[in-house]
Structure 1
């Protein structure tokens, strides 16, 4: 799922990713034959007390190899595929109906966007027709003033250099603020540029080859293309050297510096901030929030000292790299060759899946309205809401029962918990796409049009009241998130499906699945970063010093536990990078277990399929994390993803839970059993 602070740049994950939640009936009548746990997935040759992940999923892992077009295959992918089958039918019908649909309607826009994305012949015939005017503009840049104008223009696509946008002020959650932060790198992580290990060198070589291929497709001779690729890589390496690591970026306080506009303009004159604010309609801004001052200082110097020819190559590259899906096949093939090195994928995704993702990304809420009409009922939403409230009550009990937190901090924690806003399924108010023009004529022009619409949508927020109805994910998304500045937990309709929630299954299955997901997102409000915001979403220290120290000691213990996990030889999980997600996993399963104990099924203690209710609860939790993953994708995840690999999201939390030991009869000395002094439990 994902805990997040939103801006135009991206969704910055503070949570986890997952699937389903319609919510169970209030008083279920447990069946004797189980539903929701596939016993064929179990590998009973493995002891649950030695490796519960492989006990619960071993046979599934053996029998479900990774499809050639995938980099991992697991419960998330299975649900995603089922959702995509529904989405494909919707999109194909929308594309067929769009020719007769009223111009400007969501049906017309969704249908024409998808149809244009699927029109491979039309894309080939268009060639660079719709791209050339933008390439010509880049070619016309002659000096720093031209570059500043290009970066400032909200219609410039892929201008890069640094992140800029309007987002909620972390220390004043009732206002939007102009924000600047590091950005502009083509590779997924700064360490790919800076490390000298074999894997990093391989990625850099593949990246340079990718850039060279694109430059040749744009008409450069091979030698010139290689020279231009070297120039871009050298420039981005300098940016990477000034960038903070992913671990450092997690510290919300250290990545917040508010300064007057005049001071920022003086500190970074080569950014020409007054020009940027004017071009973006933000001249009334009095202050700006700087995320990483040292990065902007480096960019300030680079803008003035980088040869214009090199800056042009940087702009060319980022313009084209972001739209290869809407260019002739050779561009997409070059992109995929690089993806293969990063992730180990063997085949490119079929065109319809790529077009589907593009439609969801461009017109998510227009498409989402069509999706929820078929895939999510008001009754499902109501049942999910009921389950959230059950988890909220259980969390309050756990907070009050802690023996390490003072009454003063408990009081604020309960206030924050009670203030959680809950969003389920889809927005109450949909985005207005009336100013966005979509046609079948050009998939590329549609991409540019939606990018410009998103830009204006973001910039237009400044000076307005906070839009607390806004969503950071689209309805079909198989995920969930916590947003600290809004103090909200959000569960899109796409995640509210089996195996996370199954209306036919017993409570043990649903609390072990979606219950743990709900608890996870709630816990993000109290993880090492989320806990720094108060009930109103403001970045404020509401902890006593003693409670703060006790929390940090417990969190550090979790970090050390995950540092020791090795998904591959010589590859260790980064306990600091994954800290928030690991704490949320541990808290989520703990709260879900306590909520489950209040159900009729847990109290009756009646076995189903030979497993007690508590055993079924833990099996359901383990089975949502089942996944096979390519080694390249594992390495990429460990370096760039704040989530731990699936086996550690299962075993890691359970190794700290005496309730798990009791459920499966685990004894001291078993691998799944930690000594009392080595266990960590916060909630």
Structure 2
């Protein structure tokens, strides 16, 4: 039941989510401020020295780490969204409004009833095991494989919908490697001591699940070896994980009408029909692997296949069944593979399960409950105004040649803005769940979600849905579909607080929109043109100008230290792409704000900048800071706040900062993404 596997997306950059929780750290001046006398230094002096610390002083005092690795304004937003989901599910359980809420309420209730889950034992998977145990001949195996995929249990291989790299306006089905119980094919073939020890621990886990799915004690050792033998054969024909990182290397179209003849034993033509897929082509980048599977259907005895399929069902469903299943799964996957010390609380585990199997259902109801029409409309209005500011900036950009400007204008003209929920809704027709069996409800919900996922395959379906759920805070530019996506959960404080002045809404939400829209026209967006073709539409002149800009931005960040890490400097080259977007976002939001409110006073202007700072408020432990300094692509919040503003003359004017101070660079040192 692993949708990360089921819907594996080769085009990993299709949704680049640049807003993640935990991106800032308190300024040293803010720490000093806590110990200072109650009388404050002049506000202008503080703002001109460290605006982040000045603007977020109250937040930083009110939000200590208290043992956590990080605390941030965006983490608070995410926690609030989670609280809202729990509130929604509890309400759906007691007084549902409509069919979808009835489904969710029953699902939630069945998961929270641990006594019922325990009584249920392995009954939810009994029909699946019964079908597997009924296999008599090799020709019966492919139909069982297809049936398990239909209920969201990908066995033997993965099959999911993703962008067609030759036509970004459609999704095709991707046949890709899978079917292994270990996360890396190399674990099955390496001979070092650590790997052999892991394989031994894995063998123990396989035996536990086989016991729970019907294997007698005297056959455990032999049957677990049958599982590992089959998976080892798959692993040997699979690509190393490093080879899966390049989308184009894992994309190769094949006519679907040839699959039945090429893979007669595996019956892939019938497999597609069972999934409801009738498209004329699919992607299969490793045909040698599928040829090997095709041979194994006949080469291995049906008994070995039955053991393997039973194991895959038990392993996939273990987190949703009785305690014996859950404990076995956690002892290996939780403790050994994920390094977890204890299982999540029941409420969190059930929420995670519902998100996996019925997340779009929750999103549908979440938006209806927590996204007022006025907030939705305001978000779209600001986003459109920032888009207009970007159009003017492109027109005035001296780095772009006329031909490149024309392409950029055309691309911006086609850019879509989607707020709250996807424009195309789902079909919520699903078998009633009831409150009797949580495991059965997982299968019902995942069958529904798989069905809806398969509908993404085909022409005209590329923008059918998002790859993020409405109840998950996200604001992102989808490069493949040339659209801005803003989820319902993102439209709350500190991103879009309808109780704050309009200037604040531009400074937070507007600036984040500007940062994301920039990605359609930066060094990444240059690779997809206005026609949604994968083609570099820049000339060497634009590339050279952008590289020069990026080097200057990297140098600004590299000059600063990570708060709390002493002499550790920010890696400017590591954070520069996000830093450029931040700079552009503030510039575009300021332009949109001034166009909307040309007569705004000083207080309103200051509120704009305070809102930007408030997005990045954060406390980090030294360990978390060190980890992010080493590998993170985001600068600490102090510099995400201060550096873009120090490059913006309007900030210095709003706070009366003199040129050459920390927050107002001299004119020849200021950087603008859109000069």
TM-score range, shorter chain: 0.7 to 0.9
Asked whether the equivalents of residues 242 and 298 of structure 1 are also in contact (C-alpha less than 8 Å), the reply is no
**Correspondence for 1:619 among 589, 613, 631:** 613
How far apart are the structure 1 equivalents of 2:569 and 2:268? 42
Between the two proteins, the alignment pairs up a number of residues equal to 637
Which residue pairs with 1:413 in the alignment? 408
1:240-639 alignment, distance < 5 Å: 241-244=239-242, 248-249=245-246, 255-261=250-256, 272-282=267-277, 284-290=278-284, 293=285, 295-298=286-289, 300-301=291-292, 304=295, 315-316=309-310, 318-336=312-330, 338-339=333-334, 348-427=343-422, 430-463=425-458, 465-466=460-461, 468=463, 470-507=465-502, 509-548=504-543, 550-551=545-546, 584-585=581-582, 587-596=584-593, 598=595, 600=597, 604-606=601-603, 612-613=606-607, 615-623=609-617, 626=618, 628=620
- CA separation in 1, counterparts of 2:400 and 2:514? 19
- Residue 102 of structure 2 corresponds to 108
Task: Call closer, same or farther: CA 1:13–1:188 in 2, change over 3 Å.
Answer: farther
The change in CA–CA distance for 1:467 and 1:260 in structure 2 (over 3 A counts) is closer
1:117 matched to 2:119? The reply is no
Q: Do the aligned residues in 2 keep the contact of 1:427 with 1:470 (CA within 8 Å)?
A: yes
Q: CA deviation at 1:214?
A: 5.9
Q: Give the Cα–Cα distance (whole angstroms) in 1 for the partners of residues 625 and 436 of structure 2.
A: 36
- Which residue does the alignment assign to 1:75? 73
Q: 1:372–1:274: structure 2 CA closer, same or farther, 3 Å change rule? A: closer
Cα distance in 2 for partners of 1:447, 1:614 equals 46
Partner-residue secondary structure (3-state), 1:363? helix
Distance 1:386 1:196 in 2: 60
What is the deviation of 1:164? 2.0
SS at match of 2:647: helix
Q: Distance in 1 between matches of 2:309 and 2:672?
A: 49
Conserved? CA contact 2:17–2:475, under 8 Å: yes
Tell me how far 1:405 sits from its aligned partner.
1.9
Structure 1 match to 2:15:
13
TM-score (structure 1 length as normaliser): 0.73
Give me the whole-angstrom Cα distance separating, in 1, the residues matched to 2:570 and 2:142. Answer: 41
Tell me which residue corresponds to 1:26.
none
Using the TM superposition, give the Cα deviation of residue 604 of structure 1 relative to its aligned residue in structure 2, in angstroms: 3.3
Which residue of structure 2 lines up, in the alignment, with residue 95 of structure 1?
A: 93
Match of 1:28 in 2: none
More helix by share: 2
Q: Given that residues 562 and 629 in structure 2 are in contact (C-alpha distance below 8 angstroms), is that contact kept between their aligned partners in structure 1? A: no
Counterpart position of 1:43? 31
Query: Matched residue of 1:475: which SS?
Result: coil
Q: Can you give the 5+ residue segments of structure 1 that lack an aligned partner in the other structure?
A: 20-37
**TM superposition shift of 1:150:** 3.9
> Secondary structure, in 3 states, of the residue corresponding to 1:354?
helix
Deviations 1:333-365 (A, max 9, x none): 455554466766665443223323433443344
Kept in 2: contact 1:71–1:344 (CA 8 A): no
CA distance in 2 between counterparts of 1:197 and 1:555 reads 43
Contact 2:414 2:482 (C-alpha < 8 Å) held by counterparts: yes
Partner of 2:647: 659
Q: 2:633 aligns with which of 637, 640, 644?
A: 644
Give the secondary structure class of the aligned counterpart of 2:172: strand
Q: 1:281 to 1:364 in 2, by over 3 A?
A: closer
Give 3-state SS (helix, strand or coil) of 1:362's partner. helix
Contact 2:256 2:282 in 1 (8 A): yes
Mapped to 2, the partners of 1:208 and 1:635 lie a distance apart of 32
Q: Deviations along 1:290-319, whole A, 9 cap, x unmatched? A: 4xx2x4534544664696788767655543
Alpha-carbon distance in 2 for matches of 1:53, 1:618: 9
Answer with 496-505 or 41-50: which moved more: 41-50
What is the RMSD of the two structures over their aligned residues, measured on CA atoms? 5.4
* Matches of 2:557 and 2:250, distance apart in 1: 25
**3-state SS of paired residue (1:644):** coil
* 2:41 aligned partner: none
Take 1:316 and 1:210, find their aligned partners in 2: how far apart are those partners?
16
| Distance in 2 separating the partners of 1:208 and 1:53 | 52
Distance 1:597 1:575, change over 3 A: same
Residues 193 and 424 (structure 1 numbering): CA distance in 2 closer, same or farther, change over 3 Å? farther
Q: TM-score, normalised by structure 2?
A: 0.74
Alignment CA distance shift 1:73-1:652 (3 Å): closer
Shift of 1:78: 2.0
Per the alignment, do residues 383 and 147 of structure 1 end up closer, same or farther by CA in structure 2, a change over 3 Å counting? same
CA offset at residue 377 of structure 1? 1.3
The Cα shift of 1:112 comes to: 1.0
1:216 and 2:218 are equivalent in the alignment: no
| Selected match of 1:127 from 113, 121, 124 | 121
The one-character-per-residue Cα deviations of 1:467-510 (angstroms, maximum 9, x if unpaired) are 75634433322223333343221212111000112123245543
CA gap of 1:614–1:497, structure 2 versus 1, over 3 A, is closer
Q: Secondary structure at the match of 2:124?
A: coil
Residue by residue over 1:81-128, the C-alpha shift from the partner in whole angstroms, topping out at 9 and shown as x without a partner, is 333333333322322246xx88xx223211111111112111111111
Separation in structure 2 between the aligned mates of residue 313 and residue 602 of structure 1, nearest angstrom:
74
Cα gap change, 1:448 to 1:488, in 2 (>3 Å): same
Change (3 A) 1:374 1:156: closer
C-alpha change, 1:255 and 1:233, in structure 2 (3 Å) is: closer
> Could you tell me whether the CA contact under 8 Å between 1:557 and 1:680 is conserved in 2?
no
Distance 2:592 2:616 in 1: 18
Q: Which ranges of structure 2 fall in alignment gaps of 5 or more residues?
A: 35-45
Any conservation in 1 of the 2:616–2:640 contact (CA below 8 Å)?
A: no
Q: Specify the structure having the higher radius of gyration (Cα).
A: 2
Question: Relative contact order (alpha carbons < 8 A, sep ≥ 6): 1 or 2 greater?
Answer: 1
Going from structure 1 to structure 2, the CA distance change for 1:450 and 1:615 (only over 3 Å counts) comes to: closer
1:652, distance to aligned residue in structure 2 (A): 6.0
Deviations 1:624-671 (A, max 9, x none): xx25479699969988xxx735x5476368657752697597998989
Corresponding residue for residue 177 of structure 1: 172
Deviation at 1:322, TM superposition (A): 3.5
| Counterparts in 2 of 1:189 and 1:76: CA distance versus 1, 3 Å | farther
Q: What is the Cα deviation at residue 517 of structure 1?
A: 2.5
Does the 8 A contact of 1:72 with 1:627 survive in 2? yes
Deviation at 1:538, TM superposition (A): 3.5
Conserved 8 A contact 1:94-1:110: yes
String of CA shifts for 1:339-394, please: whole Å, max 9, x gaps: 46676666544322332343344334443444334322111111111110121122
